[in-house]
Amino acid sequence: MNTGTQTSRSRARKTTLLLGLLLVLVFALSLGIGRISIKLTDLPLLFQALVHPDLADHSLHTQAIALFWVRLPRCIMTALVGAGLALSGAVYQGLFRNPLVSPDILGVSAGATFGAALGFVVPGVEFFGIQALAFAFGLLAVGCALLIAKAVAVKPMLVLVLAGLVVLSVFNAGITTLKYMADPYNELPAIVFWIMGSMSRASWNELAIAAPLVGGAIILAHLFCYRLNILSLGDAQALSLGVNPKPWRILFITTSSMAVAVSVATCGQVGWVGLVIPHIARTLVGPNHEHMLPVSTLTGAIFLLLADTAARSLSGAEIPISVITAFTGAPFFAFLLYKNRGSGWS
């Protein structure tokens, strides 16, 4: 092992450790900040107030309910969604060998949003039914893109991107149609608010469904990240190294798309996380996916926790989280464009 590789690994370990500690700090701050201020030093008292509400002060009991039933599942879900979106963006950028690719390139976000909008318009569909439709149509969108690419069977990666654009356009047209058909007083505002994104719907029940799916996708991507390094070299190089790119490509696309579909089904569309965060990770530890994926995962969780904390704290009414991510992500991406002028993207 040469000195450069050892230095790179040492730097990656230190960066990952620091980001892990920062995530714990941001998570703790996010738990305490909100309309109801909570001191984490009062955690034993809050737990006691939750278990024995008849013996606790009313204000303490209110804080305990806010912490354990509202804010804790919300913060966990936010970190999970941020990690999943950032990881998916890193995987897609490596897989397609394009730093401008985002997780919704195959239409998964548009498909999931269409499913949610359909649930709002169809009578009798409850909230979990809306989430199920969002998840199903998100995966359906990816499946359609893969089928189109398979049918063409020429330049698979390029055709897959073009197929994703076709699917994206079709589902966006479907979303527009559903918005046109929706009741302007009830259904249309619900659809628009869903599209803007919010973590306010997070609960322990949702977390029990989302955590295994997004967590499983994150674990699989980390276990086989060395394959992603090979796939990012191109099909010819992968074959010369004895790796069949097709099954690995399907695995990475499926797991990443599943993470995005679950995220959209849970909190609506959240932009810029999957596009910008992988660039930050690449700047910190380089393009090696064995180092970049953990850093992307942690940075995505930190970024979305900060964005959600701002969204529910800056004003009396909660700001859509996609507004916060756009206001912070877009200027940073412009900075990246300026920084990489004349040198190309690495």
Domains of the chain: 104-269 (1.10.3470.10)
∠ CA(233), CA(238), CA(241), 5° rounding? Answer: 120
User: Which pLDDT belongs to residue 171?
Assistant: 95
Which residue, 258, 257, 235, 254, is CA-closest to 246? Answer: 235
What token pair was written down for 142?
């990816």
Task: Please say whether the beta carbons of 98 and 228 come within 8 A.
Answer: no
Tell me, what's the pLDDT at 296?
Answer: 97
Dihedral Cα 112, 311, 87, 7, nearest 10 deg: 170
Q: What is the pLDDT of residue 89?
A: 92
Do 197 and 182 touch, CB atoms closer than 8 A?
no
Estimate to the nearest angstrom the gap between the alpha carbon of 340 and the chain centroid. 25
Q: SS3 for 126-170, per residue?
A: CHHHHHHHHHHHHHHHHHHHHHHHHHHCCCHHHHHHHHHHHHHHH
135 Ramachandran zone, left/alpha/beta (phi>0; psi -120 to 50): alpha
Please tell me the predicted confidence (pLDDT) of residue 289.
92
**C-alpha distances in Å from residue 86, one per residue of 6, 83, 191, 222, 267:** 26, 5, 25, 13, 15
Tokens (6 digits) for 200:
């306010």
Q: Helices 43-51 and 58-65, interaxial angle, to 10°?
A: 100
Provide the residue-wise pLDDT of the chain in tens; the chain has 346 residues: 566 677 788 888 999 999 999 999 999 999 988 777 777 777 777 777 777 666 667 677 778 888 888 899 999 999 999 999 999 999 998 888 877 788 878 888 899 899 989 999 988 888 788 888 988 998 899 889 888 888 887 776 778 888 889 999 999 999 999 999 998 888 898 888 888 889 988 999 989 989 999 999 999 999 999 899 998 888 888 888 888 888 998 899 889 988 998 898 888 889 899 989 999 999 899 889 999 999 999 999 999 999 999 999 888 788 999 999 999 988 987 887 777 665 555 5
Q: How many helices (H) and strands (E) does the chain have?
A: 15, 0
Give the model's pLDDT for residue 54: 66
Contact 107, 92 (CB under 8 A): no
- Closest alpha carbon to 304 in 22, 80, 102: 80
Q: What is the DSSP string of 35-65?
A: SS---GGGHHHHHHHHH-GGGS-HHHHHHHH
Angle at 329 between CA 325 and CA 330, to 5 degrees: 115
